[in-house]
Amino acid sequence: MIARSWPIAGAAGLALAAALCVPMAAALDRLADARAARSQLAAALAAPPRTPVVVPALAIPAADRAAAARRLAAQLRAAATGDGLLVETLAPADPGAPGLVALDLRLSGPEKAVLAFVDRAERDRPLARFARWRVEAGEGDSVRLDGRLVAPWRR
């Protein structure tokens, strides 16, 4: 009697395996899709798309970083001398990031003129911000500004 039940049990097992193949195949397809999506997201997180630092209209248009630094330096020098300030130092510096240009500057003059220069440098175009700055008392009623100005540039 046991010998006769083996074929029935085998047939029942094969029928059960066949019935489970369709849901198992669908589950394996969903697993493969989930793994592919996870790989794409991991790749996107590892290398985010490069985007501009600011909108292009606010950046200095120039062929390269050195040209952008020269253009910004000329603009700052003209503004400072126009306000009666003495430009002691105006030199390119390492901005520490791509797409940026930095200038180290030192200038002196009357306190109101120096503060007006700082205000105008950060408000005018192209967009520029002081990464660091220090104002010290100079001789008489003059002050000395020592700082680093950073601005974005684009090709």
37 and 92 inside one domain: no
Res 138: pLDDT: 77
Low-confidence ranges of the chain (pLDDT < 50): none
Query: Are 71 and 60 within 8 A, CB to CB?
Result: yes
Token pair of 119 as six digits:
């205000």
Among 16, 33, 49, the domain-final residue is: 49
Cα torsion 77, 83, 86, 88: sign: negative
Question: Is the pTM for the entire model greater than 0.75?
Answer: no
147 burial level (CB within 10 Å; 0-12, 13-18, 19+): middle
CA distance 102 to 94: 6
Q: What gap in Å lies between CA 149 and CA 104, rounded to an integer?
A: 7
Same-domain pairing of 73 and 143:
yes
Res 126: pLDDT:
84
CB of 151 within 8 A of CB of 127? yes
Domain span at residue 24 reads 1-49
Is the domain of 67 the same as that of 35?
A: no
